[in-house]
Amino acid sequence: MIQAVIVEDEELIAEELQLKIKQAAADIRVIKVLPSLKTAKKWFFENPLPDLIFMDIQLSDGVSFELFNTYKIDCPVIFTTAYDEYAIRAFKVNGVDYLLKPIDDEELSKAINKCRSIIESKQTFPADIKQLMLKLSQPQSPALYKEKFIVNFRNQWFAVNTKDIACIMKENLHYILTFSGDKHIIDFASMEEIEELLDPRFFYRANRQFIIHIDAIHSVTPKENQKLTLTLKPPFNKLQIDMSREKAPEFKKWMDR
């Protein structure tokens, strides 16, 4: 039996992760859920290292990487995060994996299988974690993100600054809506492709149809079943954007900076 620990400060996400782990791997037993950095530090001090750790990066009282500065963690770790996914992609090495929230069942199974192989072969945690921590502690270069989008208007091309975009919307085509009220078609294959070009400090993927700028949000209304409805500022205040309960906790973190 593989003993696992979850480091996650959102109770709902922790509960759903436990359920997904149970469904994905009958040989994994979650022995503890640690809801804060402070709690995690105390637990790791008082208990032996588990076989596997599921670890959120951004906790309410700090960044979980502090645990690696305090304790020798040489078991596999699966990071669960809604942030810094671009940096983490470069570090899918033995002993390190990541799951982007909301967690996909298939990706979870792949990560668990990878870690199970490491545990069974008794490999040690790689030194790459130090490079990963350094990478994520550095500010993202603005060059990583798109600064302008080219749009076609009346058979002419012109550039729209990314900072002027209130939201990006998918209907039959992809559109950018600017703070000034303009609406333009942009030529991209998918919302995922667009999302990767945008700075996650300012833009958030609310659902399959909308990516929103933080300054475009007028209000957030909690609904039943812990879902959210976002209302944008004028001139798009008639747009109401629904968000699932799975995304709600991470969205709250993103807003509360």
CA distance 225 to 93: 37
How many CA atoms, within 13 angstroms, populate the side-chain half-sphere of residue 183?
A: 8
The position carrying tokens 């979980």 is: 64
Model pLDDT, residue 86:
45
Query: 83-92 as b/e, with b when 16 or more CB fall inside 10 Å?
Result: bbbebbeebe
The position carrying tokens 């990706």 is: 107
Question: Residue 102 pLDDT more than 90?
Answer: no
Q: Which of 44, 45, 33 is closest to 9 using CA atoms? A: 33
Model pLDDT, residue 143:
47
Does this model's pTM top 0.85? My answer is no
Decide which of 1.20.120.80, 1.20.1250.20, 3.40.50.2300, 3.40.50.300 is the CATH code for 2-137.
3.40.50.2300
- Phi/psi for 80 (5° steps) reads -115, 120
**What would the CATH number be for the domain defined by 143-255?**
2.40.50.1020
Contact status, residue 53 vs residue 75, Cβ threshold 8 Å: yes
Kindly report, residue by residue over 67-82, the tens digit of the pLDDT.
887 888 888 889 887 7
- CA distances (Å), 137 to each of 64, 65, 67, 88, 218, in order? 12, 9, 14, 12, 31
Where in the chain are the domains? 2-137, 143-255
